[in-house]
């Protein structure tokens, strides 16, 4: 069982290492298959771990396995240990399962790229890092995984490094995540001094003796990390830019796994957050705010991937809302279903982009319905699941979160209202995208590609020779994962049906006891309201974009604000980047060059001047030297006489 967990962690690392070391001696495709195999081997390990866990009693499902001591200073020790419990097992399954499908998809999607080997090494590295994050048995390993996924994300966003936008986006993502890492690290410093340990169990036990200030600091630091990694307000600006990476990367990292790490963190560290309720409420509030703001911004985006990216932010907002309220089971449940349907949406979008030779602007698309029926169906399933239409998976998980909000008092009602507004927006932006891309008559661009796709090559900035055109919607390696995820997006929610069974939340209860338990009545009320609002959103979208009965309202001011994404980028540029640059220039010109560099020039110059000054006494006349000697003798004689 625990061997399965280790296999799960190490198989992707071995894959990444093998691809790196073998270099040119293996073919590009082989690299893809090695990565796929490695990740699926990890999935096998995760399944073995799951089976092992299920074989034990509910209260015994927690195992910690230590390989060696990672860091040790005598009084303070951190082991390289894995934790295996229902929470980490769930995450392991999602990461390796969805991850494996996406790597398989990449084999088709990235076919023909110059640097496929590098891509697959990075992908395997990412899966390893993510597994380290969710399996790490102490906060330091969690932080290590946390940082490494940021690194892998940086590498993959900037994979097409000849595009300056991609490199800039990668750097932005890494720096914002590094900010989150830093706040998390601060929280850990407090924990070390207050509890003397970073192991989960021991530090949670130590929270009881901590002052509320310290607790709030720890929780705030952890929340900072979670917010940065999960692209919540106000540290969200990197996620939309991250869409510069290849589409499978967006699906894996920026939808299904990495960005949900913040939710995992809150669930994992729930004793700390529960001991600092103000911060937990803050987390829920941030989630609610993000889900509305991101939904609004998604309304005006024209890039197919960016719409889905904002939708991701919004959905993670729901998860934060749930986790912040203490509905850990539902938050994790939504995390899982979201991984299914969001990966599905991204990969279906990827098939479209692949087919249209790299075009991502939805204004150029339209009428793809007949051309790509399979992808159309998959995208429809994904969209419906996203909006939360029963009986698709999104319905069960999102409504669980909203119902929990109803059970959480006055603040909960406020959050509930935000969540309902969010469902309306979700219906609107999702089906705006859906109708624009798939509905109507084929656009000129679509017509041109009707005879079979040309591959994705021109998504790369450098125009290169087109690969062999292939018929159909894409290679089987791309369509198979889409199909599997479509099925999962439909059935994934049935693990948890209100009033019938509660398998999923029950499974997670030993790890994180929920604070709120919605009653059946609340669940039903929420479901009807949420589906209603969602359908209204869909209907409005149909009115404007499907049937094109009305022109979309042209509210200039609002539109400007939304298109500039509420001016966050501009604000950060003004508040952080420019001051840093200015300060750096000021210090170089004001301190480094004149004072530090100048002082040493001053010393040499001073020495030279002093030399010239003293040198004046050296006339070069022999007699003046002789006179000086004589004078000196006289002075000395007088002094000796006087002193005696």
| Smallest separation, CB 584 to another protein (Å) | 4
d(CA 395, CA 400): 8
Provide, rounded to whole angstroms, the least separation between the CB of residue 237 and another protein. 15
Give the footprint of another protein on residues 453-512 (CB under 8 A): none
For residue 89 the two structure tokens come to 């097992």
Q: Per rule CB under 8 A, is residue 271 in the interface with another protein?
A: no
Part in contact with another protein (CB under 8 A); list of ranges 104-112, 229-237, 331-339, 626-634: 626-634
Q: Which is nearer to another protein, 130 or 378 (CB)?
A: 130
Of 190 and 309, CB closest to another protein: 190
Q: At what angle do helices 373-387 and 393-406 cross, to 10 degrees?
A: 10
Residues from 191 through 220 that contact another protein (CB under 8 A): 192-193, 217
Instruction: Say what angle helices 139-157 and 164-195 make with each other, to 10 degrees.
Output: 180
Q: What is the DSSP string of 595-611?
A: IIIHHHHHHHHHHHHHH
614 binds another protein per the rule CB under 8 A: yes
- Quick one: 527 exposed, middle or buried, by C-beta within 10 A (0-12, 13-18, 19+)? buried
C-beta neighbour count of 165 within 10 angstroms = 12
Site for another protein in 22-51 (CB under 8 A): 23-24
Residues 408-427 that bind another protein (CB under 8 A): none
Nearer to another protein, 410 or 617 (CB): 617
Q: With binding defined as CB under 8 A, does residue 72 bind another protein?
A: yes
Residues between 551 and 580 that touch another protein (CB under 8 A):
580
Closest approach of another protein to the CB of residue 168, in Å: 9
Residue among 153, 115, 151 nearest 239 (CA): 153
CA 265 – CA 127 distance, rounded (Å): 17
Cβ distance to another protein smaller for residue 487 or 591: 591
- Contacts to another protein from residues 109-138, by CB under 8 A: 115, 117-118, 132
Whole-number minimum distance, CB 70 to another protein, in Å? 6
3-state secondary structure of 535: helix
Among 202, 208, 361, 592, indicate the residue that binds another protein (CB under 8 A): 592
Q: How far is the CB of 592 from another protein (least distance, A)?
A: 6
Give residues with Cβ within 8 angstroms of 481, minimum separation 6: 101, 102, 104, 105, 347
> What does the per-residue mask of binding to another protein show for 429-448, with x meaning CB under 8 A?
--------------------
- Widest CA span of the chain, in angstroms? 122
Q: Is 534 in the site for another protein (CB under 8 A)?
A: no
Are 7 and 1 contacting, i.e. CB atoms less than 8 angstroms apart? no
Binding another protein (rule: CB under 8 A), the pick from 410, 465, 500, 622 is 622
- Closest by CA to 425, choosing from 287, 298, 563, is 298
How near is the Cβ of 459 to another protein at its closest, in Å? 18
Which residues, in sequence order, are CB contacts of 621 under 8 Å at separation 6+?
none
Q: Phi and psi of 516, rounded to 5°?
A: -125, 140
Residue 643 binding another protein, by CB under 8 A: no
């Amino acid at each position: 069982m625990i061997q399965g967990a280790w296999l799960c962690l190490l198989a992707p690392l071995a894959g990444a290492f093998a691809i790196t070391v073998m270099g040119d001696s293996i073919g590009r495709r082989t690299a893809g298959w090695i990565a796929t195999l490695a990740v699926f081997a990890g999935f096998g390990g995760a399944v073995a771990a799951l089976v092992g866990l299920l074989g034990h009693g509910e209260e015994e499902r927690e195992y910690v396995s230590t390989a060696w001591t990672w860091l040790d200073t005598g009084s303070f020790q951190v082991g390289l240990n894995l934790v295996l419990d229902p929470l980490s097992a769930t995450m392991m399954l999602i990461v390796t399962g969805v991850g494996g499908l996406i790597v398989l998809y990449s084999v088709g999607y990235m076919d023909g790229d110059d640097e496929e080997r590098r891509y697959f090494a990075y992908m395997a590295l990412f899966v390893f890092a993510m597994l380290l994050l969710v399996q790490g048995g102490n906060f330091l390993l969690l932080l290590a995984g946390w940082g490494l996924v940021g690194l892998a994300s940086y590498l993959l966003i900037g994979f097409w490094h000849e595009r300056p936008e991609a490199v800039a986006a990668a750097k932005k993502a890494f720096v914002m995540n590094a900010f989150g890492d830093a706040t998390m690290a601060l929280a850990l410093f407090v924990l070390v001094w207050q509890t003397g340990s970073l192991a989960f169990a021991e530090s949670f036990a130590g929270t009881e003796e901590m002052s509320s200030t310290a607790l709030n600091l720890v929780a705030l630091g952890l929340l900072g990390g979670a917010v940065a990694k999960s692209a919540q307000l106000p540290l969200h600006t990197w996620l939309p830019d991250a869409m510069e990476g290849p589409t499978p990367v967006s699906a894996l990292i920026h939808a299904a796994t990495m960005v949900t790490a913040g939710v995992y963190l809150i669930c994992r560290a729930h004793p700390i957050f529960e001991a600092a309720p103000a911060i937990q409420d803050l987390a829920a509030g941030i989630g609610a705010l993000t889900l509305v703001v991101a939904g609004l911004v998604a309304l005006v985006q024209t890039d197919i991937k960016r719409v889905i990216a904002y939708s991701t932010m919004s959905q993670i907002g729901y998860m934060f809302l749930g986790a912040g309220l203490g509905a850990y089971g539902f938050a994790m449940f939504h995390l899982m279903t979201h991984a299914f349907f969001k990966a599905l949406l991204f990969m279906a979008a990827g098939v479209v982009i692949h087919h249209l030779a790299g075009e991502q602007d939805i204004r150029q698309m339209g009428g793809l319905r007949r051309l790509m029926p399979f992808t159309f169906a998959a995208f429809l399933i994904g969209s419906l699941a996203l909006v939360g239409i029963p009986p698709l998976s999104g319905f069960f998980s999102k409504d669980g979160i909203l119902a929990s909000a109803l059970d959480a008092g006055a603040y909960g009602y406020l959050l509930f209202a935000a969540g309902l507004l969010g469902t309306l927006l979700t219906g609107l932006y999702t089906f705006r995208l859906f109708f624009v891309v798939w509905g109507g008559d084929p656009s000129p661009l679509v017509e041109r590609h009707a005879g079979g796709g040309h591959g994705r090559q021109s998504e790369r900035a450098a125009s290169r020779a087109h690969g062999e055109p292939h018929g159909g919607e894409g290679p089987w390696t791309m369509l198979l994962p889409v199909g599997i995820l479509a099925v999962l997006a439909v059935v994934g929610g049935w693990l948890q049906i209100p009033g019938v069974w509660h398998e999923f939340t029950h499974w997670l209860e030993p790890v994180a006891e929920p604070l709120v338990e919605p009653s059946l009545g609340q669940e039903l009320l929420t479901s009807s309201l949420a589906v209603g609002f969602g359908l209204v959103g869909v209907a409005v979208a149909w009115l404007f974009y499907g049937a094109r009965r009305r022109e979309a309202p042209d509210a200039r001011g609002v539109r400007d604000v939304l298109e500039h994404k509420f001016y966050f980028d501009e604000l950060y540029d003004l508040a952080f980047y420019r001051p840093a640059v200015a300060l750096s220039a000021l210090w170089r010109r004001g301190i480094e060059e004149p004072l530090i560099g100048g002082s040493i020039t001053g010393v040499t110059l001073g020495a030279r001047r002093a030399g010239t000054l003293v040198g004046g006494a050296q006339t070069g006349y022999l007699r003046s030297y002789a006179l000086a000697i004589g004078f000196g003798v006289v002075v000395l004689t007088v002094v000796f006489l006087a002193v005696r």
